[in-house]
């Protein structure tokens, strides 16, 4: 089975703090990590490869240093990594991102299965997976919590819903987005780490993937961010005083409107 996993490099949430003085995201000491949901997508790809044979390619769009997440993916069992990187992609919204990833996938070649995370923890939209499936003209199923059965031709899956879950069957090729419940990602093995160290990655530009300049970056993005501002500040924490019992009494009064 030929599997492509889309992985995004994102700033680690524990470093993402809004500087209250400047109202900007802190830039110092911000570590980049593989988007948490993508780790479950990668693990599932490797599990399927172990079960059914085949190969796993990881694909990322981002700045040159995004090869770090590709390298990490190799240590976790991926076979190949491809980075699409070009200043021309800057400012891409989810439409332009989906278009660019689709073009890169056409360049990579055949596939049976595409896996994405449910959403990236920075942009937070959960729109790239479905968009990419449309661009590739294949069906998609989002929020997969379990792979019940897998064969070369068909998958039986559980998709998480707000009030329960649906069990669906779909033949390949298909694109899936995954949630955390799916599996427990492995720790890199020593062999994996060695492989990752030596791994080389294909880096593709806009021209390499044959992208139309009107469909990438800012020009290819139907949405446009016009302003960015901090969330409304939370009020000061009200101080409850006295014994614990007295505090609880005050609390009940304060929250009485909701009860």
Partner 1 sequence: MLIVDSELCIGCGVCEESCAFGAIEVIDGCAVVGDACTLCGACVENCEVEALQIEGAEKSVQADLDSWRGVWVYCEFRAGTLAPVSLELLGAGRKLADARGVHLSAVLIGAGTGDTAQRLIGHGADIVYQVDDPALAYFTDEAYGAVLIDLIKKHKPEIVLAGATAIGRSFIPGVANSLGAGLTADCTHLDIRLDDGALLQTRPAFGGNIMATIVCLSSRPQMSTVRPKVMQAMEFDAARQGKIVNVTPDPVLLQTKVRVLESVVFEQDDVNIQESDILVAGGRGMDNAKGFELIRELADSIDAAVAASRAVVDAGWIGYPHQVGQTGKTVAPKLYIACGISGAIQHVAGMQSSETIVAINRDENAPIFDVADFGIVGDMYKIIPMLISKIEGHRKS
Ligand X SMILES: Cc1cc2nc3c(=O)[nH]c(=O)nc-3n(C[C@H](O)[C@H](O)[C@H](O)COP(=O)(O)OP(=O)(O)OC[C@H]3O[C@@H](n4cnc5c(N)ncnc54)[C@H](O)[C@@H]3O)c2cc1C
Residues 61-100 that bind partner 1 (CB under 8 A): 62-63, 65, 87-88, 90-91, 93-95, 98
Binding residue for partner 1 (CB under 8 A) from 17, 106, 151, 207?
Answer: 17
Binding residue for ligand X (CB under 6 A) from 151, 213, 223, 247?
Answer: 223
Range in contact with partner 1 (rule: CB under 8 A) among 15-23, 71-79, 103-111, 194-202 = 15-23
Q: 247 by DSSP, 3-state: which?
A: helix
Write down the least CB distance from residue 95 to ligand X, Å: 6
Q: How many CB atoms lie within 10 A of CB 145?
A: 17
Question: Which tokens go with 150?
Answer: 């897998």
Binding residue for partner 1 (CB under 8 A) from 60, 75, 100, 142?
Answer: 142
The strand pairing partners of 10, in sequence order, are 33
Which option in ligand X, partner 1, none does residue 174 bind, with CB closer than 5 to 8 A by kind? Answer: partner 1
145 binds partner 1 (CB under 8 A): yes
Q: Which of these, 168, 133, 144, lies nearest to 45 by C-alpha position? A: 144
Binding residue for partner 1 (CB under 8 A) from 2, 54, 130, 186?
Answer: 130
The strand pairing partners of 202, in sequence order, are 82
72 binds ligand X (CB under 6 A): no
| Residue among 133 and 150 whose Cβ is closer to ligand X | 133
Q: Is 209 left (phi over 0), alpha (psi -120 to 50) or beta?
A: alpha
120 binds ligand X (CB under 6 A): yes
Rounded distance between C-alpha atoms, residue 81 and residue 45, angstroms? 14
Alpha carbons within 13 angstroms on the beta-carbon side of residue 167 total 3
Query: How far separated are the first and last CA of the chain, in Å rounded?
Result: 55
Q: How many CB atoms lie within 10 A of CB 87?
A: 9
Alpha carbons within 13 angstroms on the beta-carbon side of residue 5 total 36
Write down the least CB distance from residue 115 to ligand X, Å: 7
* Cβ pair 78, 56 in contact under 8 A: yes
85 binds ligand X (CB under 6 A): no
Binding residue for ligand X (CB under 6 A) from 57, 72, 85, 97?
Answer: 97
Binding residue for ligand X (CB under 6 A) from 127, 134, 156, 199?
Answer: 127
123 binds ligand X (CB under 6 A): yes
Write down the least CB distance from residue 109 to ligand X, Å: 17
181 binds ligand X (CB under 6 A): no
* Cβ pair 69, 34 in contact under 8 A: yes
25 binds ligand X (CB under 6 A): no
Write down the least CB distance from residue 251 to ligand X, Å: 15
Q: 52 by DSSP, 3-state: which?
A: helix
Rounded distance between C-alpha atoms, residue 55 and residue 81, angstroms? 11
Interface residues toward ligand X, by CB under 6 A? 6-8, 35-38, 59-62, 92-94, 97, 101, 116-117, 119-120, 122-129, 223, 225
């Amino acid at each position: 089975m030929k599997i492509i996993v889309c992985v995004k490099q994102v700033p680690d949430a524990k470093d993402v703090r809004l500087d209250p003085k400047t109202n900007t995201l802190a830039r110092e000491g911000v570590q980049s990590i593989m988007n948490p949901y993508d780790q479950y997508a990668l693990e599932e790809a490797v599990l399927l490869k172990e079960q059914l044979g085949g190969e796993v390619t990881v694909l990322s769009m981002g700045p040159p240093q995004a090869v770090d997440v590709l390298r990490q993916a190799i240590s976790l069992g991926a076979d190949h990594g491809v980075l699409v990187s070009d200043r021309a992609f800057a400012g891409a919204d989810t439409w332009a991102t989906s278009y660019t990833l689709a073009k890169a996938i056409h360049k990579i070649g055949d596939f049976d299965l595409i896996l994405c995370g449910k959403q990236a923890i920075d942009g937070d939209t959960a729109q790239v997976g479905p968009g990419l499936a449309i661009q590739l003209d294949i069906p998609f199923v989002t929020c997969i919590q379990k792979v019940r059965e897998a064969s070369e031709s068909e998958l039986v899956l559980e998709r998480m819903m707000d009030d329960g879950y649906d069990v669906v069957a779909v033949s390949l090729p298909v694109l899936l987005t995954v949630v955390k419940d799916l599996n427990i990602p492995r720790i890199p093995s020593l062999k994996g780490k060695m492989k990752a160290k030596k791994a080389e990655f294909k880096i593709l530009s806009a021209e390499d993937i044959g992208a139309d300049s009107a469909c990438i970056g800012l020009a290819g993005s139907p949405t446009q961010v016009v302003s960015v501002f901090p969330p409304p500040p939370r009020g000061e924490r009200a101080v409850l005083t006295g014994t614990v019992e007295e505090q609880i009494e005050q609390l009940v009064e304060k929250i009485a409107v909701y009860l």
